[in-house]
Amino acid sequence: MSHEVVILMWTAITVGFVHTILGSDHYLPFVVLAEARQRSSIKTFSITLWILSVIFVFGLCESLIPLVQYPAARVNIASVAIVAVAFGITTIGTMLGLILISQYGLCGSAIEFLGLYLL
């Protein structure tokens, strides 16, 4: 793996993580629905994973498009796949982690910091 691809991969991981944490619309709907329907963490986790997998198959997050398409394609198609997978795993993992943490009430202070009083 070239130095360029490693930089692109770590950039995708950083963007995926920060974008997901700052974009509360990525995880709060799942938390609110789980609370409203009194779903278990396992049920919420499985439904969320299924929905996110479908979303990632049909479309990439808008922040990934310029990050991946041009620079990685200049190297080769495998670079595009590596960067896209790194972004996807980071984004989905961050979403799932935030949902589970929110369900257990461990990030109440973070939610309060954002001005959202849900739990």
18-59 pLDDT per residue, tens: 888 887 777 778 887 787 788 777 888 788 778 777 776 666
Which residue segment(s) compose the domain that 106 sits in? 3-113
8-state DSSP, 24: G
In a domain, 38, yes or no: yes
71 vs 89: which has the higher pLDDT: 89
Q: Does 118 reside within a domain?
A: no
For residue 43, give every residue at least 6 positions away whose Cβ sits within 8 Å of its Cβ, in sequence order, or none. 34
Structure tokens at 47: 């439904």
Q: How confident is the model at residue 15 (pLDDT cuts 50, 70, 90)?
A: confident
C-alpha 3/C-alpha 25 separation (Å) is 34
Task: Assess if residue 119 is contained within a domain.
Answer: no
Q: Are 83 and 12 in contact (CB under 8 A)?
A: yes
Counting the structural domains of the chain, the total is 1
Is residue 62 included in any domain, yes or no? yes
- Greatest mean pLDDT among 43-52, 63-72, 98-107, 110-119: 43-52
Q: What is the per-residue pLDDT for 119? A: 44
Please give the backbone phi and psi of residue 111, each rounded to the nearest 5 degrees, phi first: -65, -40
24 lies in a domain?
A: yes
- Residue 8 in any domain: the answer is yes
Name the pTM for this structure.
0.73
In a domain, 61, yes or no: yes
DSSP 63: T
Classify residue 68: in a domain, yes or no: yes
Q: How confident is the model at residue 87 (pLDDT cuts 50, 70, 90)?
A: confident
